[in-house]
Copies of this chain bind each other. A is one copy, B any other.
Amino acid sequence: MAGVVITDVGPRDGLQSQQAPVSTEGKRTLIEALWAAGLPAIEATSFVSPKAVPQMADADDLLPSLRVPPGRALSALVPNRRGLERALRAGCREVAVVLSATETMNQRNIRMGLAQALDECTATLLEARSHGLATRAYVAVAFACPFEGRTPAPRVRELAQAMADAGAGELVIADTIGAASPVDVREVLDELLPVVPVERVGLHFHDTRGLALANAWQALGMGVRRFDASIGGLGGCPFAPGAAGNLATEDLAVLCTQTGHATGLDPALLVRAVDVASALVGYPVGGRAMPWLRRSAQHASAEKQEEMK
């Protein structure tokens, strides 16, 4: 069976909502731990307004200081062409744009209508491509919107297609608030896959209702091979009950490995990266599979030491 490409969005989506400040040095350490664990792609930061997202205020310093191992992808989120300019100055080689799928979400978030937001996104994509950058394009609130409820699947298809037409390399369909069920995933993919090549489709789940991994399994069954996930399930806010984090990278890795999909990830080094993430945010993070993964890693390490005697 084909391999699965996991983009770890922990350094961006996972850290942006943390209450306590996270140092630039700490972010670098986490990203190094993710490279060490074998992650093929990392979304490192976001060139948004430092006022809106203080945790990402160090993007201009962080990004140029990051190592990108050969064959790996390091991306940064850019909200618009101004953000793209900053990303280019920082030496960024891959950017992600975000388009919310509903009128109200765009109005509330960026004070634009949906049509204007789409124009800004496609313009940013075209500009990024003219500089030779690789691109990802998020369709946010693609399953449900906190203001408008269920998002119509045909609209998700139209928006994804418009961004594919503007040259987006990967189309990331995002369940921003963690409201999707596997039935919703099936419905959206049934709309999308006839018009966008499955190789370019990625899915981004949050685990608010505990369904993220079941959703991933539904998508895997329909041929999707790109997923966002966040080390340790980083994301949401530990102090706000109900604000659950992203799908945990290590849980997705276990699902993939156990169902015959290679990820290139090293289980013991994933456990180490989760520990780095916990130290960084100051409270224990970790997906559902962590106790088992940790035990397996210890067991494997003991066996290796035995062999070396």
Contacts and interface: CB of A to CB of B under 8 A. Distances in A.
Interface string A176-216: 00100111100000000000000000000001111101101
A211 B242 contact: no
A288 interface: yes
Interface stretch (A3-11, A53-61, A224-232, A289-297): A289-297
A224 B267 CA distance: 32
A210 B254 contact: yes
A210 B244 contact: no
* Most chain B C-beta atoms within 10 Å of own C-beta, residue among A178, A184, A288: A288
* Most chain B C-beta atoms within 10 Å of own C-beta, residue among A181, A243, A244, A254: A181
Given A213-B210, A214-B213, A181 B292 contact: no
B182 A292 contact: no
Contacts of A292: 178, 208-210, 242, 244
B183 A260 contact: yes
A165 to B, nearest CB: 33
A130 interface: no
Contact of A295 (B184, B242, B255, B291): B242
Nearest to A294: B241
B181 A211 contact: no
A283 B251 CA distance: 24
